[in-house]
Structure 1
Amino acid sequence: MTISRRPAGGRSAGGTRLTRGAIAVSAAALALGGVAAPASAAPSADALIAEVYGGGGNSGATLTNDFIELANHGGAPVALDGYSVQYLPASASASSKWQVTPLAGSVAPKGRYLVAEGKGNGGTVALPTPDATGSIAMSATAGTVALVSDSAPLTCKTAADCAADSRVKDLVGFGDAVVREGTPAAAPSNTTSVARAATLADTDNNSTDFAVGDPTPTNTKGETTGTQPGDPGVPAKIHDIQGITRISPFKDKQVEDVTGIVTAVRSFGSARGFWMTDPHPDSDPRTSEGLFVFTGSTTPAVAVGDAVTAQGKVKEYYPDAPATSNYQSLTELTSAQWTVDSQGNPLPAPTVLTPDQVPDVLAPNAGGNIESLPLEPSKYALDFWESHESEIVQVSDARVVGPSNKYGELYVTTKPQQNPTPRGGTVYLGYDKINTGVLKVQSIIPSSQQVAPKVNTGDVLTGVTSGPVEYSNFGGYTLFASKLGAAKDNKLQKETTRKQRPGELSVATYNVENLAPSDSDTKYAQLAHGIVDNLATPDIVTLEEIQDNSGATDDGTVDADATLKKFTDAIVAAGGPRYQWRQIDPVNDEDGGQPGGNIRVGFLFNPSRVSFVDRPGGSPTSSVGVVSDHGKAHLTQSPGRVDPGNEAWEDSRKPLAGEFVFRGRTVFVLANHFNSKGGDQPTHGRYQPPTRSSEVQRQKQATVLQGFVAQLLNADPRANVVVAGDLNDYQFSPALAKLTSGGLLKDLISTLPPAERYSYVYEGQSQVLDHILASAAPRGVDYDVVHVNAEFADQASDHDPQVVRFRPSAGNPFEDWANDVLDQLDRVLHRTA
């Protein structure tokens, strides 16, 4: 796995949206009839916590203060004299104490009660007059708030202990809070809160009862920030709301008399709601006639075909903080009310996607934010999709170009002739060659009605797949399918490569995706059979993402012998040889990757075919050097790390150099795992062209590595050098240009036909992250990417391995010629040609 390109954090930071986890959990809950929650107190019959916001005054916040809002879903007033609200950090230590704000007064039936808390340095909008005031500085993303029947600080530090305390009238834990009811509510942010639905349902499961959304502080007088309750707003049609740019001209304004036909409903997860389309469009192709009405964790009481008239506030939803987001927004109607005017109406005709409909150019080259630019849907693919935001689109007999995953997502192409691979994908061949026909598909059909298909690249969704389209930070524009075509299995097979001939050395590279002893025997067996059967038992394997013996547990462990022993045992069980390994344990938490995992690169080798030259001195901080002895190059340490103290390797894996001997010929192998693409702006985001900030470090890494290769070849111009691993970059990237500069190395992926240049599938684009490069000395070079993972729903890793077979140079032309003749005779005699 490349810990990259999908930024850290959930999709709830800028408002509530159906997170991947929420989809999976909700689907499972529907299938299993619910999920048992941990122990909790009895639900409150009257006063309870309605909303919690901890981002007041923080970066990007509008409100200046944190707040806690109470509500009363009982039929009589509740006196709060002597009560308190209390706050505990999400991961309370032994010294953590509950912070207390005393309350006074009462909360009326169906009324609200506002408690102002800590004030930050930012924000521009004050809370409405609070009913009580405290000074607690709450976390914006994680913590626990309790409504307590007295003002003495609580002492409980676990969910069970707090549930057993009779003083706790209600409690909500959010983010990764240890103390919570059931499972914690999703994590809010500096700009969002967690709040109960308008029904004030209290199931004592915080993740069910609370959803992330815009903060709406309301006091006992009904005063709130922004639009006052009951303000109906401005009459508007959907195309008026959508406008001709990405940002609605009605952003943050109240609108009314919004009419349309309900075209689809999302009835599970934390981003429930419905899509509506105006059956009377305007004549402007830039304005969408569709709109999403967001209802949070409440299933809307509408059905497809209902004609509705709605009112609410127009919001631009971002998956993270709007001020700093790299993503596009979704125009939606929030805090909505509606009436159903009639039922069973015919639906507006969908936009039928043909191969020529989506433009080939992704976006305007704006040199920055494209949100304010008028849409040009006939010129740019991103503008085309935005002009159809929340409308129903339809594709027929769509070829799958990215396999289904555990989140129920898959990718199809609307342009089947756009850069197809021989195996059914669509290949990415340049920064300006994004395949604009790629479209993510995700079902909104409850799992009780239809199980999401399990499909591989090259399969087909036969018949019609249709549903509303909207932007997702994971994958760009997404068709949320309310009708899903049947999956046709086109029988894609996992590849196998040929066995190396007796005179050939085979070197493979394989990213085994955070391999740890805690991984299942099934994963180990799949990887092992990949080595033995699909890669034909290579002589040397460079491994990436080997984790330490405790896996992702951050306990100071750095040894990985248990991981490697379990893997080599699995290879033997799969019918392979007893591989030996060489690697160097990193300094704890200094090599990046999954926190606590201490991923590193290493070597496996088959001792019956190749010898490893062990030279002492290698350590996580010492640098391997090169010496020349009678015109032959040697390493000063083997294995040894390449310049590990260089800033290029900060928080990243350090290359590992190893010296091997095959049939008396020395071969140098350099195992690598460059820094990830995390932090890059997405290709489908609001900044065009996107900034690829992570490239800077990879160019530095390539410079260091190329310099070390130069040392080897200066010591021996005929040295056999193989550079292999997950370089986290494309064959056309600056990092690869640096590695191949001066002609010292050749990137072997470039020897394949363009349509076959891929080892990874990301957001439906088949692309290159893994590489094998070789110096000029190896002869008879035969290179192969072996497709066993990336195109398949069933993956042992998200990367495909690759292998090179060659005859190492012996160091002088006559001996190389003689060995070539002997090798060819050997091939004839063994009938292996």
Structure 2
Amino acid sequence: MTATRILLRAIALALLFLPLAGAAAASCGDPATPIARIQGAGDHSPMAGQTVTVEAILSQDSRHQGGFQGFYLQQADHQTDSDPRTSEALFVYTRRSLGEIGDRLRITGTVKEFHGLTELVGIKAMTRCGREPVPAPIVLTLPWPQPPETLENMRVRFEQPLTVIDSHNLGRYGELTLARTDQVNATEYLEPGPSAQLATERQRLQRVVLDDGHRQQQPRPVPWPPGGLTADNTVRAGDRFGQLVGVLDFRFGDWRLQPQATPELLPANPRQPPPARPEQPHLRLVTLNLANYFNGDGDGQGFPTSRGANSQADYEHQHQRLLAALRAPNPDILALTELENDGYGAASSVADLAEALGPSWCVVTTPGADGQDEIRTALLYRSDRVQTSGHAKRLTSGLFRHRGRPPVTQVFRAKNGDTGVRITALHLKSKSCRGATGADQDQQDGQGCYNDRRVRAAEAIVHWLSELPAPDNLAGTLVTGDLNAYAREAPLEVFRSAGFTSMVHQLQPCDARTCPQYTYRYKGARGSLDYALASGSLQPRILTAATWLLNADEPRALAYDGPLDVTSALPWRSSDHNPVITDIRL
């Protein structure tokens, strides 16, 4: 045999054992394509569309009913490439039943990128090659110590418990969003602008979704908390999960942990009663967004309503739960928003609510001045404890002439008392972008849409209040309600410049790490949209200014119109806002 022929034969033999794409080696242990090469060092596989043979260990199975129709395959620990930029695992999409966790499998299929997840599909061959230890999980912390892309589909273990920051999709998809600690909305403590936007983006990137390993909607039972979500078995934002071990994968735009076993729930934000009333003589004001309280036609018909309950039964559930929430703090005055704007007759929503609260409850009426919006603000009071002084007024000029929700103001005094306090209830335009044009569009500074309108409304209200006559012995003015703006946003600056101070924030300040009092959660960040803003003369008389963490931390699945159909008259998740409770010494 010539030297040339010997060389050619040697090359041919060597090629048989190279792990080339498309090479479907026949036997276990033959050369195969390393998974790290398939994953590559970027966001997408450099081998997408190619046929490969891999040999690795089945690390987690998702072929159960309702699962992801496949399993996770990870390279054995002694066969990794030791390159921290490349993942050592991928998802195998198949209906074949061969293999269980701990099996070494040899598989031939086609590499595919499925919405950002690297998969092996179109399986042509799959062979069981015996048993082998499952790869050890990579120990992680948040913030991510390395880009999560480098760990895609691999087994991981979070070293520390993680905090629940969002349960918006819990009832629909069985998901909870977790972070190292609870997160605060950036414009709650930063001025709107680039710094706030950057802080928001950093928060978003330092999260992981605790998934349930299933792909179907409306899972029942709802998987979290362990034992299933019920009215009495809840998981609240601020609670923590430990023993988080499983596979890290990427689906629907989020990095997710598919747990290998049920993690441990560590309650850290238990349900609490409302703040106790002070011993000093005072008036207690409770401010709450009612989340669209509509009673149909008032006679059991007229459902579904345009913004509220879909049926009389739903309305009764909403009604009873709101009553429980409003009664628990034992208020003297109620400042309410998102109440149906249907007059003051016996069949109106506000009359229905006042009657249910009890015979001593009265409504501050402003017939013909409530505006054209479907919802309005309202003031109610206990006539056995409180008396009104003078007539109520609404701002119906300027910006509030043809649109918006006219704010209402009324002076109250304690029963048989001389000193009065002016309570002004308002509800500014939401951040929703529907119909926004020009200056009302999102300016990308963290304040959302319609900020310009909210600012102009705040300026109009401040001017209006400054021109109202002051009755004798007026202690000051409290502006309260849903401003749809966080504490450092421009509408709050308007009130601050006019001498009004957020008493909740003054008594319990917020920063990037600590924000104990808040009224709302949005996309995993907590902050305040609802306020008690005291004029300078009233501030020394504020005994209590706090929020009751009643609603915003609870899963929306527990709402009266949620998928679990909770019918018991519990106060929890009676709205999506937390109430603000203010005690005023008069």
TM-score (norm 2): 0.67
Match of 1:390 among 153, 162, 172: 153
3-state DSSP class of the match of 1:239? helix
Contact in 1 for aligned 2:285/2:334 (Cα 8 Å):
yes
Aligned to 1:97: none
Aligned to 2:339: 546
CA contact (8 A) 1:399 1:461 kept: yes
Alignment of 1:471-482 (within 5 A): 471=250, 476-482=254-260
Alignment check: 8 A CA contact 1:547 1:600 kept: yes
Choose from 407, 412, 416 the match for 1:656.
407
Amino acid at match of 1:350: P
Query: Which residue of the other structure, out of 698, 701, 719, is the alignment partner of 2:454?
Result: 701
Cα deviation 1:665-709 (Å, max 9, x = unaligned): 351403214313569xxxxxxxxxx94576241243123213321
- 1:442 is matched with 211
| Alpha-carbon distance in structure 2 between the residues aligned to 1:500 and 1:392 | 53
Which structure 2 residue ranges, 5 or more long, are not aligned?
Answer: 1-20, 25-31, 191-195, 296-310, 435-442, 556-571
Partners in 2 of 1:586 and 1:293 — Cα distance? 59
Superposed, which structure 2 residues align to 1:203-602 within 5 Å? 237-250=34-47, 253-266=49-62, 267-269=64-66, 271-279=68-76, 280-294=79-93, 303-306=100-103, 307-317=105-115, 330-333=116-119, 335-337=121-123, 339-342=125-128, 344-353=131-140, 357-359=141-143, 378=145, 384-395=147-158, 398=161, 400-402=163-165, 405-407=170-172, 408-413=174-179, 415=180, 418=181, 429-430=189-190, 431=196, 432=199, 438-444=207-213, 451-452=227-228, 454-457=234-237, 459-462=239-242, 464-471=243-250, 476-489=254-267, 492-499=270-277, 504-517=282-295, 518=311, 519=314, 521-533=316-328, 535-543=329-337, 545-546=338-339, 562-572=348-358, 577-580=360-363, 582=365, 587=372, 598-602=374-378
Aligned counterpart in structure 2 of residue 790 of structure 1, from 522, 545, 552: 552
**Does the C-alpha gap of structure 1 residues 412 and 335 become closer, same or farther in structure 2, counting only changes over 3 Å?**
closer
Give, as a single letter, the amino acid of the residue that structure 2 aligns with 1:799.
H
Contact 1:500–1:538, Cα closer than 8 Å, also in 2: no
CA gap 1:263/1:599 in 2 versus in 1, 3 angstroms: farther
Deviations for 1:261-293, whole angstroms, at most 9, x for unmatched residues?
333333344854433333333333233333334
Q: 1:645 to 1:261 in 2, by over 3 A?
A: farther
Return the letter of the residue paired with 2:107.
T
1:605 aligns with 2:381: yes
Pair 1:802 & 2:580 matched: yes
Q: Could you give the per-residue CA deviations for residues 6-50 of structure 1, whole angstroms, max 9, x where no partner exists? A: xxxxxxxxxxxxxxxxxxxxxxxxxxxxxxxxxxxxxxxxxxxxx
Change (3 A) 1:638 1:770: closer
Q: Are the aligned partners of 1:498 and 1:536 in contact in 2 as well (CA < 8 Å)?
A: no
Q: Which has the higher contact order (CA 8 A, sep 6+)?
A: 2
Which residue type is aligned with residue 412 of structure 2? Answer: V
Conservation of the 8 A alpha-carbon contact between 2:344 and 2:365 = no
Instruction: Check conservation: 1:242, 1:331, Cα contact below 8 A.
Output: no
Amino acid paired to 1:638? R
Contact 1:641–1:656 (Cα < 8 Å) also in 2: no
Question: Aligned in 2, Cα 1:675/1:661: closer, same or farther, shift over 3 Å?
Answer: same
Evaluate the alpha carbon distance shift between residue 486 and residue 335 of structure 1 in structure 2; reply closer, same or farther with a 3 A threshold.
Answer: same
Instruction: Provide the rounded CA distance (Å) in 2 between the counterparts of 1:745 and 1:805.
Output: 17
Specify the SS of the correspondent of 1:805.
strand
- Report if aligned partners of 1:639, 1:657 keep a CA contact under 8 Å in 2: yes
Q: 1:726 aligns with which of 472, 477, 482?
A: 482
Decide whether the 8 Å contact of 1:443 with 1:484 is kept in 2: no
| Residues 241 and 737 of structure 1: CA distance in aligned 2, closer, same or farther (over 3 Å) | farther
Q: Letter of the 1:661 partner, please give it.
A: F
The alpha carbon displacement at 1:459 in A equals: 4.5
* Cα RMSD, aligned residues only: 4.4
Assess, with a 3 A threshold, how the Cα gap between structure 1 residues 657 and 529 changes in structure 2: closer, same or farther.
same
SS at the partner of 1:788?
coil
Q: After superposition, what is the alpha-carbon deviation per residue over 1:173-228, rounded to whole angstroms, capped at 9, x for unaligned?
A: xxxxxxxxxxxxxxxxxxxxxxxxxxxxxxxxxxxxxxxxxxxxxxxxxxxxxxxx
- Three-state SS of the structure 2 residue aligned to 1:493 is coil
**Higher helix share goes to which structure?**
2
Residue identity in the other structure for 1:780: R
Partner of 2:519: 759
Partner of 1:768: 528
Alpha-carbon distance change, 710 to 287 in structure 1, aligned in 2, over 3 angstroms: farther
Shift of 1:492: 1.7
Compared with structure 1, are the counterparts of its residues 261 and 768 closer, same or farther at alpha carbon in structure 2 (3 Å cutoff)? farther
Distance in 2 of aligned mates of 1:725 and 1:394: 44
Which amino acid is 2:477 matched to? V
Q: How does 1:117-156 map to 2 (within 5 A)?
A: none
1:238–1:291: 8 Å Cα contact kept in structure 2?
yes
Q: Given the superposition, is the C-alpha separation of residues 471 and 738 from structure 1 closer, same or farther in structure 2, using an over 3 Å criterion?
A: farther
Task: Name the CA shift for 1:293/1:728 in 2 (closer, same or farther; >3 Å).
Answer: farther
In the alignment, residue 282 of structure 1 is paired with which amino acid? D
Of 499, 508, 516, which aligns to 1:744? 499
Q: What is the SS of the residue equivalent to 1:530?
A: helix
> What is the DSSP-based 3-state SS (H/G/I as helix, E as strand, rest coil) of the residue aligned with 1:386?
helix
- Structure 1 distance, partners of 2:123, 2:344, is 56
Contact 2:75/2:88 (8 A) holds in 1: yes
Residues 670/481 of structure 1: CA separation in 2 closer, same or farther (3 Å cut): same
Q: 1:508 to 1:265 in 2, by over 3 A?
A: same
Q: Would you say the 8 A contact 2:346–2:352 is kept in 1?
A: no
Amino acid at match of 1:398: P
Letter in 1 for 2:175: E
* Equivalent residue, structure 1, for 2:18: none
Query: 5+ unaligned residues in a row in structure 1: which ranges?
Result: 1-230, 318-329, 360-376, 550-556, 592-597, 616-634, 680-689, 808-822, 824-833
1:672 maps to a residue whose letter is H
Preserved contact between residue 247 and residue 316 of structure 1 (Cα < 8 Å): no
Report how far residue 401 of structure 1 moved. 3.3
Aligned pair in 2 of structure 1 residues 269, 767: CA closer, same or farther (>3 Å)? farther
Assess, with a 3 A threshold, how the Cα gap between structure 1 residues 274 and 768 changes in structure 2: closer, same or farther: farther
Q: CA deviation at 1:768?
A: 2.6
Whether the aligned pair in 2 keeps the contact of 1:309 and 1:340 (CA below 8 Å) is yes
Q: CA distance change for structure 1 residues 539 and 245 in 2, over 3 Å: closer, same or farther?
A: same
Amino acid in the other structure paired with 2:87: S
Structure 1 residue identity aligned to 2:89: G
Secondary structure of 2:394's partner? coil
Q: 1:676 and 2:440 equivalent? A: no
Amino acid at match of 2:430: N
Q: Which deviations, in whole Å up to 9, do the C-alpha atoms of 1:340-381 show, x marking residues without a partner?
A: 33264432221223xxx333xxxxxxxxxxxxxxxxx64xxx
How far is the alpha carbon of 1:802 from its aligned partner?
0.8
* Amino acid of the structure 1 residue aligned with 2:405: K
Q: In structure 2, what residue type is equivalent to 1:305? A: G
Name the residue aligned to 1:208. Answer: none
1:299-336: CA deviations, max 9, x gaps?
9765433425242352351xxxxxxxxxxxx3233753
Q: How many residue pairs end up in the alignment? A: 474
Contact 2:350 2:363 in 1 (8 A): no
CA–CA separation in structure 2 for the residues paired with 1:720 and 1:396: 52
In 2, Cα distance between equivalents of 1:391 and 1:560 = 63
Kindly provide the amino acid, as one letter, of the partner of residue 409 in structure 2.
Answer: G
Task: Give me the TM-score of the superposition, normalised by structure 1.
Answer: 0.49
2-side partners of 1:419 and 1:461: how far apart?
13
**Secondary structure, aligned partner of 1:484:** coil
